Amino acid sequence: KSAFNSAMSYTLKRAVTGSGKEIKIDFDQALVSMGTLMPVFEGAATVSNHQMTFNWKDNSGMGNAERTDIAMVLVYSKDREAAVYDTEAALRSDCHTGLQLPEDWQDDELVAYLSFCSTDGNCVANSICLPISVIEIPEEEIDVQTESIDTTHKRILPDKRKVHQSRITVHSLSAPPNEIQTYRCET
């Protein structure tokens, strides 16, 4: 909570420009998390087929960065003023993760953020706004599988004794709080 409050204060001071009806947000300067954990310095995101893929270089051992730090990812749609995110997406040492996007976001202008949290939850990194590349796959090149494949994966995060649960939450900045939808899938 304090990391969010710090990020909000920073955003209001440094990423919001203008006044009155002319207020704008500089999304490259905005932070969705703020703290003293070492962030990544080399990261990028690609979007293809309703999926945002995050890639980064593992900088474990640099400062207080550890292989077991948990990646937190967020994608914001400027057009819908809504975000989807996963606060337990992967480990720092995984160097990549994906986030499913709503199908109706296909042509939206998107912003992607990557951050990390220590396994004990006491230390959070400043979020990084990542450059996004769009990969378009022609329909004739999309391979559709017709057989059933077992894709059950279990990964226990460090110091946790439960199956990893992905949480994807859609927040609309213009909707009342009781209209927030949370989707949960167990893997």
Of 152 and 90, the structure prediction assigns the larger pLDDT to 90
Residue 59 neighbours by CB under 8 Å, 6+ apart: 38, 40, 41, 42, 65, 92
Encode pLDDT of 6-48 as tens digits.
Answer: 555 666 667 777 778 887 877 787 888 989 999 998 999 999 9
**pTM of the shown model:** 0.68
Instruction: Classify 173 as helix, strand or coil.
Output: coil
- In this predicted structure, the answer to whether residue 114 has a pLDDT above a threshold of 60 is yes
Q: Which domains does the chain have, with CATH numbers?
A: 2-136+150-186 (2.60.40.10)
Q: What is the pLDDT of residue 171?
A: 46
Of 126 and 138, the structure prediction assigns the larger pLDDT to 126
Residue 164 neighbours by CB under 8 Å, 6+ apart: 88, 154, 155, 156, 157, 186, 187
Residue 135 neighbours by CB under 8 Å, 6+ apart: 46, 47, 48
Q: How confident is the model at residue 87 (pLDDT cuts 50, 70, 90)?
A: very high
Residue pair 33/3 in contact by the 8 Å Cβ criterion = yes
Neighbours of 112 (CB within 10 A): 24
Q: What is the pLDDT of residue 47?
A: 95
Q: What is the pLDDT of residue 105?
A: 95
What is the Cα–Cα distance from 169 to 137, expressed in whole angstroms?
Answer: 27
Give, for 129, the enclosing helix (H) or strand (E).
strand 128-130
Q: What is the pLDDT of residue 175?
A: 43
Residue 1 neighbours by CB under 8 Å, 6+ apart: none
Torsion over CA of 115, 169, 99 and 95, rounded to 10 degrees? 30
Residue 104 neighbours by CB under 8 Å, 6+ apart: none
What is the Cα–Cα distance from 44 to 55, expressed in whole angstroms?
Answer: 5
- In this predicted structure, the answer to whether residue 159 has a pLDDT above a threshold of 70 is no
Q: How confident is the model at residue 147 (pLDDT cuts 50, 70, 90)?
A: low
Q: Which of 76-80, 147-151, 183-187 has the lowest mean pLDDT?
A: 183-187
What is the Cα–Cα distance from 51 to 135, expressed in whole angstroms?
Answer: 10
- In this predicted structure, the answer to whether residue 96 has a pLDDT above a threshold of 50 is yes
